[in-house]
Structure 1
Amino acid sequence: MSEVPSRLSAVTLGARDMAGLRRFYRDLGWEELPASDDNWAGFLLGGVLLTLYPADLLAAEAAGGAPAPAGWSGITLICNVDRREQVDPAFAAAVAAGATVVAEPVDRSWGGRSAYFADPEGNRWEIAWAPGTRFDARGALIGLDG
């Protein structure tokens, strides 16, 4: 048995503009945790905690003080929806909240449908429907058939 449990508990985004990034995620309709402020903010998303932390402080902790890289990091966060027909309206809601369009919704060669947007600081999100995804009552991914 591994000493490292096979789970993802939280994802932290380094924020250059905490107030603006907090506002964007609240404008998506996501509930911010009561302990949030401009030094740390959290959003519980189906069993995974999305946290926002000032980029300079995160760099000091996680990158040995090296500055945060500019541009896309190569990491994409994914918000899966329950049905194919939910991709387009979810994508439109993100854009209405201030997201930048990266790629419009399309049917993918792997059988699903997805689109990409960037939050106000360039973090990439994919809104996706994938055949065979299963979620529990709180929205946590519990399986992927196929």
Structure 2
Amino acid sequence: MSTLPPRLSVITLGARDIAALRSFYRSLGWPELPASDDGWSAFLLGGVLFALYPLPELAAEAGPGVAAPAGGWSGVTMACNVDTRGQVDTAFTDAVTAGATVVAEPTDRSWGGRSAYIADPEGNRWEIAWAGTAVFDERGALLSFG
């Protein structure tokens, strides 16, 4: 049995321009922690801390001896699941209005849900999704999926 518990506590994005990313995520209405600044910023989202940290410093800490990656999509997506099928479209529109780049318009998916993809100002991909089997608690934390 591993002593590493099965939980996700923090997601940290290495940011090229923290000020721009902070501004974008605040414009979505996400609650930023009071201790945040342009050296480190964090948002508490449904029980997971979503953090922004300078990319060169994160690369030095998490990958000593490895250069920070160049720009472009990393191949990782994050997702924000919403409560109803229709909320995919409205959340997508709100994100684009806040400055997100359209990656894929809202569409019904073969797996029975609906989703769309956006990119933040540094190209990090977010899926906005609805899955009828997802169950959330009062904080928005995912309790079960399917």
Stretches of structure 1 that go unaligned for 5 or more consecutive residues are none
Check if 1:11 corresponds to 2:41: no
User: Aligned equivalents of 1:64 and 1:71: distance in 2?
Assistant: 21
Deviation track 1:77-109 (CA, whole Å, cap 9, x = no partner) reads 000001111000000111001000000000000
Q: What is the Cα deviation at residue 67 of structure 1?
A: 2.4
Identity of paired residues, percent? 70
For these two proteins, the number of residue pairs brought into alignment is 145
Q: Which moved more, 1:12-21 or 1:56-65?
A: 56-65
SS state at 1:77 partner: strand
User: Aligned equivalents of 1:65 and 1:47: distance in 2?
Assistant: 32
Q: What is the Cα deviation at residue 131 of structure 1?
A: 1.7
TM-score normalised per structure 2: 0.97
SS state at 1:3 partner: coil
TM-score normalised per structure 1: 0.97
Summarize the alignment of residues 28-43 of structure 1 with structure 2, pairs less than 5 Å apart. Answer: 28-43=28-43
User: Aligned equivalents of 2:32 and 2:22: distance in 1?
Assistant: 8
Map of 2:86 onto structure 1 = 85
Deviation track 1:17-47 (CA, whole Å, cap 9, x = no partner) reads 0100000000001011000001100000000
User: Aligned equivalents of 2:67 and 2:23: distance in 1?
Assistant: 24
Q: After TM superposition, what 4+ stretches of structure 1 lie above 6 angstroms from structure 2?
A: none
User: Aligned equivalents of 1:68 and 1:83: distance in 2?
Assistant: 38
Stretches of structure 2 that go unaligned for 5 or more consecutive residues are none
Map of 2:101 onto structure 1 = 100
Check if 1:27 corresponds to 2:27: yes
Task: Give the alignment's Cα RMSD to 1 decimal.
Answer: 0.8
Summarize the alignment of residues 131-142 of structure 1 with structure 2, pairs less than 5 Å apart. Answer: 131-142=132-143
Map of 1:129 onto structure 2 = 130
User: Aligned equivalents of 2:10 and 2:65: distance in 1?
Assistant: 21
